Amino acid sequence: MSMLCELCKKPIQTLILEGDFGADPLWCGQCLANLELENFPLNEHLLTELTSWMCNFGEWINLETDSFIEGMEQLAKKHDEQGTILAQQVATELGIKVTFSPYLLD
């Protein structure tokens, strides 16, 4: 893949997969800029999976009260497990290193 990061203007050699509110899940591994999913040559199934995963980020947080819901650790752990798998799939498809940044730290 010979794409340039729009922010640092360098070829994207590594990516970070990380969930966040209101952001696509791919980030430049060099400057940490948030990158648009549609700019990557990923198959439609993987794009759908990434979008779904991204939309489920924070489902363990009650945004009205800014507090965790009951069972948050299980929900966040499941989300992290899916993120690990998706990072591997993106890496395989693009042929570059993809690091997953989990919500829960061990």
Residue 75 in domain: yes
| pLDDT in the model for residue 13 | 93
CA dihedral (31, 19, 81, 44) positive or negative = negative
Residue 6 in domain: no
Q: What range defines the domain where residue 24 resides?
A: 14-101
Residue 35 in domain: yes
Residue 22 in domain: yes
Residue 28: CB atoms within 10 Å: 20
Please report, in tens digits, the pLDDT of each residue of the chain (106 residues total).
468 899 999 999 999 999 999 999 999 999 999 999 999 999 999 999 999 999 999 999 999 999 999 999 999 999 999 999 999 999 999 999 999 999 986 5
- The number of folded domains in the chain is 1
Residue 92 in domain: yes
Read off the pTM. Answer: 0.91
| pLDDT in the model for residue 1 | 46
| pLDDT in the model for residue 2 | 62
